[in-house]
Structure 1
Amino acid sequence: MIDRVKNFFRSKEKVDLLLYDSIFPNPLSGFRMAEFLALLSHYQHSKIIVNPTDYEVVGQPDSQHLLDLKALEKNSELVYHKTRLGSVADILHYDAKLFYCVFLNVIYDCLPYLEKNKTDFIFTLYPGGGFNTKDESSLQKLKKVLTSPFFKGVIVTQEFTRNFIIEKLDCPQNKIHYIFGGIIPQNSIDIKRERVYKKEDSLNICFCSAKYMAQGLDKGYDIFIDVAKMLLKNNYNVKFSVIGGFDQDEIPLGEYSKNFIFYGYKKYDELSEIFLEQDIIISPNRPFVLNDGSFDGFPLGAVVEAALNGVIPILTDELQQNSHFTDNEMIIIKPEAEAIFHSIEGLIKNEKIVHLMSNNIQSKSKKIYSHENQLNQRLKILDIYI
């Protein structure tokens, strides 16, 4: 097991790439797991410092980190031996050509040690993770990061983010790297979908999200339940699955409870088995609800995984972040239950459209989220400084 006792180095360890994270290698955070595994495997002289403070955020004890490390040792011994338990202060023990992490809060916590160490850095500014477009303290953090003399670049995955940091924070455009999407586990890239919806069968509809507030108002869980009740009230042959942080007591289901299955939280590699039996995923998330300046990326990670398994997304895009998908692949709609209800009615009555859209969204998603597309673009950026 990796030594938990803090090591004191006589001299700094030289690496090409140094990473830092607060939840690796937890499989619940599938996109971080995939990205860091890929980077650590690609760069021979690389290390990651991990301080597992976010296990509490996902409702897991700190002891689970030890189990995840054991699983990492079994599945990727190379990356396991590049993993160090520590804190942001341990950045000082490394002489790195480049430092990389994801999320605003993480890079901000690392910043004093990066500057003291005179280490150049790049980070990915995902939605969430402390990035709030209307919170002054968040904006001050981001401004401090973007004006650091050791800031070399930022990867953004949403046009909204790119435009915001240019217009509001004067970030130099030549330091912004826009890559729609993200590195995700490749479990479902080669999945073949066998389910074909027929009108005589039930239409299977799901919702998948972590819970961050009561009734999941930010993710539109309340809208999902309203849509479900409308469909059941009209006697449509539909079944519902809920994956993530919600149970049957979150919003009372009454007589309709028998039509729902609640799976709870699932590891990323457990989602495919569920999604392969679903026809539609509803994701009516709302920006600026969790707090005044918060927003989600487009589409949500759960929606991406569902799409890779041929599930048709019905989702919102209030910030107009979509730049790749068409209405032959997904249905983008306002966060209103009645509108979603009518969209699903149309699908129920046309099994050919369901089959066509399922094929289309799976094919498009496999192209966008393949390692050939996502990982290679990031490696080209990092290689400039390594």
Structure 2
Amino acid sequence: MSKNLGQCVRLCKEADYFAFCEGDDYWIPVDKLQTQMEFLINNPRCSICFNSIIIYYENEKRYELYQTHQQLQQTIYTTKDLVLSNFIGNFSCCFYNAKFIKFLENQLFDNLFTVDWMFNIVYSEFGDIGYINKPMSIYRKHSNGIWSSMNLANQAHKLIQYIDEYNKFLNYRHDAEFTKYRNKCLCDTNCESFQLVIVDDVFPHPISSFRYQEFLSYLQAFDSVKIFTSGASVKCLGNQSIDDLIINFKREYPDFTNNIEKYNNRTFQNMKCNLLYFVFLSNAYTYLRSAEVRQIPFVFTLYPGGAFALNNPSSDAKLRRVVSSPYFRRVIVTQKITYDYLINNKFCTPEQIEYLFGVVTPLDRLKKDCICKIHYGFEKDRLDICFVAHRYTAHGEDKGYDVFIKVAKLLFYKYNNVYFHVVGSFNDQIIDVSTIKDRITFYGVQQQEWFDEFYRDKDIILSPNISGRIFAGSFDGFPTASCTDAGLRKVAIFCTDPLNLNNCNFIEGEEIVIIEYDVDNIIEKLSYYYDHPDKLRGVCEKGYAKIRDNYSYEKQIRPRIDLITKELKGI
């Protein structure tokens, strides 16, 4: 059918206009085509126009105006309008400007089942859609019709199939509208059912690489996973909208097109799932009520941040509410201090906690060898120190940016070959750097792939972060994600550990350098490694090896998959 349609359309490529009259339909007035041609001439921005329809119910021998057309209030519509609702109805009421035929892809007819809705969507991308509110064609419906003979549920299933194919073919340019229509179709079928549903506020933003890898691993490991993302926190990571991020993800992973969707207040209404999963206390708390109403068990990861803090009454109240839910099953913690806090304050029993030091790290980064690393004292004569973080406070005090600048100013006068680099939402106006402006560079917020080249000749990442600066009890994980990311490019990690989170995971002085939140102490340690570049290179190499071990698939992703698998089997 689609190939026949393609042949018919191509035969019209030398024409000015073209129209179809389907086999079981017919036109009424003799001036139908003239009326539609004049409409397109008078509305040159339109590539299509259509007239209202009279439906003839052949089995019942009765006529009726097509109610969808009677409800239309406009004369001009767009592609997005048509994706949201197939208001045109069929081919026989349409009239087309033929000059756009040459732009149609062969794939439209060769690889897809192209019905009138899809064809009109594609053609409307060349111009607007015009509506003539005058009945000029008859659409016959009878029990033997291919579409009319289907019940509502079967029609909905077929539409969902078309939507998925069309959305992919159009490269997700109208993803939000297709998704909305798809959800309407789901209301006419049984609810979608999933093993695992993840609800998040950032995914699929690539800057949050630990989420990206973790959730992608679940999509690959389980047969039935759905990710709902609100995008509530993506504004902290740049200017991309959650809609654009979803589209980019679908383009990169077309096999998971239907596994991700923007969250809305009706998300849980048309869905069944066996287990819910969240990262951060803030997400678990936000969606707790929905889990309880639907009686869905859940697991979550309690990372530092995301509304979790130590000895903070507000955080404790949220945490107590979450873990006291009858649907709470397990919590993953990544820092020993978090494990002890849950046990000592009787939030959880040991059986409810899974302790996995570290964070999920992109597998491609773990597998990548740093074979072209440039080290201070060997391949170059200058020492390059970087600071990489997002700014959550006025001067980045929580990440120690103020301390970093103080250190940089002192080193500037002490050595003439030390240079400084700042990546993240910082600039030369946050703190005055005019005295060192010739030796400090700001790069802004960057995507992950950018860092491979950036870190190639960097020696040290300095992270003098301190707890409790965003709100009482707040703290970062150890080491921060920015530090481990740098360490995987053989950059030596110099970081504070005010809460003693290392817990022997890294050998101090060999695999990592622990600094105090004190400018003099930091200067002393940096000066030592300035004078001993061989020791500095050793920290780079050994730290790199330790991170690849601590953050490997077997130590991070596999235990998480095993935990979720166990919970699914227990339901």
Q: TM-score, normalised by structure 2?
A: 0.65
The C-alpha deviation readout for 1:234-292, integer Å capped at 9, x for no partner, is 12411111000111111111221110111111112322221222100000100011111
In structure 2, distance between residues paired with 1:207 and 1:17: 38
Q: Aligned match of 1:24 in 186, 203, 226?
A: 203
Which residue of structure 2 lines up, in the alignment, with residue 326 of structure 1?
507
Which residue of structure 2 lines up, in the alignment, with residue 52 of structure 1?
231
In structure 1, distance between residues paired with 2:353 and 2:381: 48
Q: Contact 2:375 / 2:458 at 8 angstroms: preserved in 1?
A: no
Tell me whether 1:361 sits opposite 2:543 in the alignment: yes
Q: Contact 2:336 / 2:501 at 8 angstroms: preserved in 1?
A: yes
Look up the SS of the partner of 1:91 in the other structure. Answer: coil
In structure 2, distance between residues paired with 1:111 and 1:156: 19
Look up the SS of the partner of 1:101 in the other structure. Answer: strand
Q: Contact 1:23 / 1:50 at 8 angstroms: preserved in 2?
A: yes
- Structural RMSD (CA): 1.6
In structure 2, distance between residues paired with 1:22 and 1:251: 31
In structure 2, distance between residues paired with 1:316 and 1:349: 21
Which residue of structure 2 lines up, in the alignment, with residue 247 of structure 1?
427
Q: Contact 1:286 / 1:295 at 8 angstroms: preserved in 2?
A: yes
Tell me whether 1:192 sits opposite 2:370 in the alignment: yes
**AA partner of residue 23 (structure 1):** V
CA positional deviation for 1:97:
1.6
CA pair 378-226 structure 1, distance change in 2 beyond 3 A: same
Q: How does 1:204-215 map to 2 (within 5 A)?
A: 204-215=384-395
Look up the SS of the partner of 2:398 in the other structure. Answer: coil
CA positional deviation for 1:43:
0.8
Which residue of structure 2 lines up, in the alignment, with residue 148 of structure 1?
325
Q: Contact 2:408 / 2:420 at 8 angstroms: preserved in 1?
A: yes
Q: How does 1:167-206 map to 2 (within 5 A)?
A: 167-189=344-366, 190-193=368-371, 194-198=373-377, 201-206=381-386
Structure 1 unaligned residues grouped into runs of 5+: none
Q: Contact 2:332 / 2:356 at 8 angstroms: preserved in 1?
A: yes
Moved more, 92-101 or 154-163: 92-101
The C-alpha deviation readout for 1:330-361, integer Å capped at 9, x for no partner, is 11121111111111111111121112111101
CA positional deviation for 1:107:
0.8
Q: Aligned match of 1:335 in 494, 504, 517?
A: 517
Which residue of structure 1 lines up, in the alignment, with residue 476 of structure 2?
296
Which residue of structure 1 lines up, in the alignment, with residue 250 of structure 2?
73
CA pair 169-91 structure 1, distance change in 2 beyond 3 A: farther
Q: Aligned match of 2:467 in 273, 278, 287?
A: 287
Q: How does 1:251-270 map to 2 (within 5 A)?
A: 251-270=431-450
Q: Percent identity?
A: 30
Look up the SS of the partner of 2:318 in the other structure. Answer: helix
CA pair 307-155 structure 1, distance change in 2 beyond 3 A: same
Q: Aligned match of 2:281 in 89, 101, 104?
A: 104
Q: Contact 1:272 / 1:306 at 8 angstroms: preserved in 2?
A: no
After the TM superposition, list the runs of 4 or more consecutive aligned residues in structure 1 that deviate by more than 6 angstroms. none
Tell me whether 1:311 sits opposite 2:491 in the alignment: yes
**AA partner of residue 143 (structure 1):** R
CA positional deviation for 1:54:
1.4
CA positional deviation for 1:113:
1.1
Look up the SS of the partner of 1:264 in the other structure. Answer: coil
Q: Aligned match of 2:399 in 219, 232, 235?
A: 219
The C-alpha deviation readout for 1:287-316, integer Å capped at 9, x for no partner, is 011111111111110001000111111100
Moved more, 116-125 or 22-31: 22-31
Q: Contact 1:197 / 1:203 at 8 angstroms: preserved in 2?
A: yes
In structure 2, distance between residues paired with 1:148 and 1:197: 54
More relative contact order, 1 or 2 (CA 8 Å, 6+ apart):
1
In structure 1, distance between residues paired with 2:364 and 2:517: 30
Q: How does 1:83-94 map to 2 (within 5 A)?
A: 83-87=260-264, 89-94=266-271
In structure 2, distance between residues paired with 1:21 and 1:89: 15
Look up the SS of the partner of 2:358 in the other structure. Answer: coil
How many residue pairs end up in the alignment?
384
Structure 2 unaligned residues grouped into runs of 5+: 1-171
Moved more, 43-52 or 171-180: 43-52
Q: Contact 2:323 / 2:347 at 8 angstroms: preserved in 1?
A: no
**AA partner of residue 243 (structure 1):** V
CA pair 150-360 structure 1, distance change in 2 beyond 3 A: same
Q: Contact 2:243 / 2:262 at 8 angstroms: preserved in 1?
A: no
In structure 2, distance between residues paired with 1:58 and 1:170: 32
CA positional deviation for 1:13:
1.8
Q: Aligned match of 1:12 in 191, 198, 207?
A: 191
In structure 2, distance between residues paired with 1:220 and 1:348: 21
Q: Which structure has the larger Rg?
A: 2
**AA partner of residue 119 (structure 1):** I
In structure 2, distance between residues paired with 1:203 and 1:187: 28
